[in-house]
């Protein structure tokens, strides 16, 4: 619960900054492409660092890594209000902060995932994953309006100070966790790339986990594009900055609802039934963004779309963690997340370029076509269709 509570508070600040970075860059430059680049830079470090970081996490004290990363992220975010106070903020600095945050997130995220089986017994992993998604969903409800209201009423600096405070709270919660995050035996091999290769081989030998990594990568490409698409569509529908936060809150409400039923669905239906239904439903819902008559309806459809995300995550996440040996958790999860998160820079950059050059409707159509292709491939994949129950 200490681990969970600290990460929920930290996510509260992170979800706010997901909107604030594009809003800040749009206010400075007026360019969706420049705003999309911030999202791309934030996601890029996963593509570059995840494999060696996974091997290092299996050597290091995972809790110490998480604490140091949160301290570093708090300092990076604090540099923005300092620059605002001296009227020295530039787009280059914003890009630098997003890159630093993204790099530290790689270390933190892989350490956190690898630590979870040390804190939670294997039979309780689905419930823990569902609890995480519920908490993060609540943060997604509260974070966007909190950030945009602070941004609109108190200026550009205040929401970033609030984000730095949430990282500090995360550090305090990690210090309270008593469970050891370090594995009993460090990997016997000390060659970094040999250790990385061991994690790669394990994942690639498991056809279902391999496909789920690639599928999650395709979904995350779309998800990385979605925040900027929401912002541009909402502005076209006449929404203020605070009202844009409401759109993201409605999306977060859908995610909370999905997290409440995710565990039940995974016990009632097979792995394949849940995964195929989630992807097919996402492919149906995404095109509706382009035809919504108001920003409220945009938020309602976003809520329906994000209802699916925690259901998908609970199923694939708990299944994966239960299968991976503890000594390989960092390496295999880093390989999985390299494939799962590696397409996010492309999605964020592509959304900005498409919005600027093609317009919002064509951009929605482009990403909708990708979801249709993913839904068809998943329905035809025999490993997904025949997968058994997740955790007994």
DSSP secondary structure letter of residue 177: -
Higher pLDDT, 267 or 89: 89
Say whether pLDDT at 371 is over 90: yes
Q: What is the pLDDT of residue 200?
A: 80
Alpha carbons 202 and 266: distance in angstroms, whole number: 25
Say whether pLDDT at 117 is over 80: no
Is-above-0.85 flag for pTM? Answer: no
Cα separations (Å) of 386 from 32, 270, 273?
Answer: 43, 8, 9
Please count the helices (runs of H) and the strands (runs of E) in the chain.
15, 0
Q: What is the pLDDT of residue 316?
A: 84
Give the closest residue to 11 by CA, choosing from 142, 129, 117. 142
Say whether pLDDT at 189 is over 70: no
Say whether pLDDT at 392 is over 50: no
Give the closest residue to 360 by CA, choosing from 308, 306, 289. 289
Q: How confident is the model at residue 93 (pLDDT cuts 50, 70, 90)?
A: very high
Cα separations (Å) of 161 from 42, 72, 79, 83, 106?
Answer: 19, 14, 9, 12, 22
Highest mean pLDDT among 7-21, 81-95, 114-128, 237-251: 81-95
Q: Are 280 and 379 in contact (CB under 8 A)?
A: yes
If you average pLDDT over residues 241-260, what whole number do you get?
85
The size of the chain, in residues, is: 392
Q: What is the CATH number of domain 2-175+195-385?
A: 1.20.1250.20
Ordered by start, the domain boundaries in the chain are 2-175+195-385
Higher pLDDT, 13 or 234: 234
Helices (H), ranges, 237-359: 241-268, 271-285, 295-323, 329-341, 344-357
Give the closest residue to 366 by CA, choosing from 285, 287, 280, 264. 287
Q: Which residue has the tokens 């200026």?
A: 155
Say whether pLDDT at 19 is over 60: yes
Sign of the alpha-carbon torsion through 163, 228, 285, 269: negative
Segment among 175-179, 301-305, 373-377 with least mean pLDDT: 175-179
Q: How confident is the model at residue 308 (pLDDT cuts 50, 70, 90)?
A: very high
Alpha carbons 248 and 144: distance in angstroms, whole number: 6
Q: What is the pLDDT of residue 272?
A: 86
DSSP secondary structure letter of residue 291: G
Give the closest residue to 33 by CA, choosing from 353, 294, 298. 353
Q: How confident is the model at residue 291 (pLDDT cuts 50, 70, 90)?
A: very high
Helix axes 241-268, 2-29, angle to 10 degrees: 140
DSSP secondary structure letter of residue 324: S
Alpha carbons 256 and 73: distance in angstroms, whole number: 26
Segment among 94-108, 111-125, 197-211 with least mean pLDDT: 111-125
Q: Are 163 and 35 in contact (CB under 8 A)?
A: no
Q: Are 288 and 379 in contact (CB under 8 A)?
A: no
């Amino acid at each position: 619960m200490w681990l969970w509570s600290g990460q929920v508070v930290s996510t509260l600040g992170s979800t706010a900054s997901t909107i604030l970075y594009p809003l800040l860059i749009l206010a400075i430059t007026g360019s969706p492409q420049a705003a999309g680049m911030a999202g791309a830079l934030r996601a890029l470090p996963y593509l570059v660092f995840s494999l060696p970081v996974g091997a290092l996490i299996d050597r290091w004290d995972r809790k110490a890594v998480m604490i140091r990363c949160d301290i570093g992220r708090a300092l990076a975010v604090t540099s923005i209000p300092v620059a605002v106070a001296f009227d020295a903020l530039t787009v280059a600095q914003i890009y630098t902060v997003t890159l630093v945050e993204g790099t530290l997130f790689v270390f933190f995220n892989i350490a956190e995932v690898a630590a979870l089986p040390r804190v939670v017994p294997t039979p309780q992993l689905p419930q823990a994953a569902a609890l995480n998604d519920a908490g993060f969903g609540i943060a997604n409800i509260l974070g966007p309006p909190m950030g945009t209201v602070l941004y609109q009423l108190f200026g550009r600096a205040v929401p970033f100070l609030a984000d730095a405070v949430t990282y500090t709270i995360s550090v305090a919660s990690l210090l309270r966790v008593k469970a050891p995050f370090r594995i009993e035996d460090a990997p016997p091999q000390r060659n970094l790339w040999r250790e990385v290769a061991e994690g790669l081989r394990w994942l690639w030998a498991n056809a279902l986990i391999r496909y789920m990594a690639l599928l999650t990568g395709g979904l995350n490409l779309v998800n990385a594009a979605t925040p900027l698409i929401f912002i541009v569509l909402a502005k076209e529908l006449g929404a203020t900055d605070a009202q844009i936060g409401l759109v993201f809150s409605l999306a977060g409400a859908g995610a909370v609802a999905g997290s409440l039923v995710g565990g039940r669905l995974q016990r009632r239906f097979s792995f394949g039934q849940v995964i195929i239904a989630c992807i097919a439903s996402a492919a149906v819902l995404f095109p509706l963004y382009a035809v919504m008559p108001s920003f409220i309806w945009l938020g309602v459809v976003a809520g329906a779309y994000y209802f699916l995300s925690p259901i998908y995550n609970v199923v694939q996440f708990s299944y994966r963690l239960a299968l991976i040996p503890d000594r390989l958790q960092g390496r295999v999860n880093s390989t999985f997340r390299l494939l799962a998160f590696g397409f996010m820079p492309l999605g964020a950059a592509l959304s900005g370029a498409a919005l600027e050059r093609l317009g919002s409707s064509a951009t929605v159509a482009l990403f909708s076509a990708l979801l249709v292709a993913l839904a068809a491939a998943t329905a035809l994949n025999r490993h997904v269709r025949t997968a058994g129950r997740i955790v007994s």
